[in-house]
Structure 1
Amino acid sequence: MARPKSSQHELKRDEILDVAAQCFADRSYPAASMNDIAAACGTSKARLYHYYESKEAILFDLLDRYTQRLLAVIAQAEAAAQRRNLDDRDALHELVRGFLEEYEHSATRHVALLHDTKFLGVAQRDLIVNRQRDVVSAVTRFLRRAYPKRVTSVNQTPVTMMLFGMINWTFTWLRPGGAMSYAAFAEEVVAMLDQGLAS
């Protein structure tokens, strides 16, 4: 009979994922080893294997949880728009704010999503890539509703990628506690959208 998981099991997994994401960002996924992750966690490799059977299992759990979180950000923006009776443009602006609030606290996870998905096995990689596509599709819908005269079936992909280009790489230059906060940057993106896409 399998031993029941302790109530701290998921909390410990979260801590491991935080540390692993930092290791992957610092060293790169291929260069980071289970020994590196265990040492950074202040535990043994044997103890780490109690939670995860491999480095790839850690990466998959990290990306699985993170992509679910990004989909939750979209669902929260949609719910907030309905609850507050926002128009389509304000709903998009709330989504931008939601993404940047998430990115402020998950930079290393975002690095892993952008750089390390390719290291997963085929089935796991397909799942993560399909979730990424779901995120892109949802943002495209927000954009088309917000700017129906400007965002069309012809240009919707470039416009969506332009928006992601503005926000997805903030981990490379925007620092918490720096001259500009993530919240302030979100307002700059909102202003850029409104002034650049409004007819």
Structure 2
Amino acid sequence: MPESPPPPSKRRRIRLGAVSRPAGQAEVPKRAGVTRREELLDIAAELLAERSFASVTVDDLGAAAGISGPALYHHFDSKEALLGEMLVDISQHLFDGGRGLRDTSPPERLLDDLIEMHVDFAVDHRALISVHFRDLLQASATDQRRVRVLQRQYVEIWVDALLVRKPTLTAAIARPAVHGVLGLINSTPFSPRARRGDMVALLRTMAAASFAAVGVTDAPIA
């Protein structure tokens, strides 16, 4: 019997290209379990994170992958399509992971599991976060809409989890609190490097402490 896949919070790498690959497209794996399309998306993520979408040409992407620039068009219609697929895959991956946790985690544990999952994602996919922050507006309008819809759905899973943890909160307070914590975690690519274990522990602790402070009113400062 094949081994069951790890739960979303334990996955270390996204299978880029697995979400948005055109239906019926067959590809010969470049290495075990990874198609050429997925490998190209991984390579592109690192290059775009380093240099930005506008400054990377199709020839640059091809050279990094060991092929000619025009050969990329066997896999993607354009550089913009490659970017859009990458960004949609990120958002779909997170939404699917959050939805999976929502369906399997005890309600009182869900917020902690979401933190764990998203911290793992942020620490292991710095390049993808950098590309998303800087280059989302370079994707097609259709892909931008897809990304934003998935992001809103993902955030609402967090909002519901926070309201279970703190039922006296309103959604109007919980929603910006969730955005603030996700922003904290997603700042990882711009933070000084640290050992993975140390960074994971730090981010989980800070995220949990931030949520714990939501709704706590301190005495006014004199």
TM-aligned CA deviation for residue 152 of structure 1: 0.9
Q: What do the CA deviations read for 1:13-41 (whole angstroms, capped 9, x no partner)? A: 11111111111111111111111111111
Q: How many residues in Structure 1 have an aligned counterpart in Structure 2?
A: 190
Partner of 1:74: 98
SS at match of 1:6: coil
Partners of 2:93 and 2:115 lie apart in 1 by 14
Partner of 1:152: 170
| Structure 2 residue identity aligned to 1:37 | L
Change (3 A) 1:131 1:178: closer
Partner of 2:69: 45
Partner of 2:161: 142
Task: Say whether 1:197 aligns with 2:214.
Answer: yes
Partner of 2:182: 164
| Structure 2 residue identity aligned to 1:94 | D
| Structure 1 residue identity aligned to 2:52 | S
Partner of 2:191: 173
Q: TM-score, normalised by structure 1?
A: 0.84
Q: Which has the higher helix share?
A: 1
TM-aligned CA deviation for residue 119 of structure 1: 1.1
Task: Say whether 1:5 aligns with 2:22.
Answer: no
Partners of 1:192 and 1:157 lie apart in 2 by 13
Alpha-carbon RMSD: 2.4
Partner of 1:127: 146
SS at match of 2:172: coil
| Structure 1 residue identity aligned to 2:74 | H
* Consecutive unaligned residues in structure 1, runs of 5 or more: none
Partners of 1:138 and 1:178 lie apart in 2 by 26
| Structure 2 residue identity aligned to 1:120 | A
- After TM superposition, the structure 1 stretch with the greater mean CA deviation from structure 2, 152-161 or 124-133, is 152-161
Partner of 2:110: 91
TM-aligned CA deviation for residue 6 of structure 1: 3.1
CA contact (8 A) 2:48 2:56 kept: yes
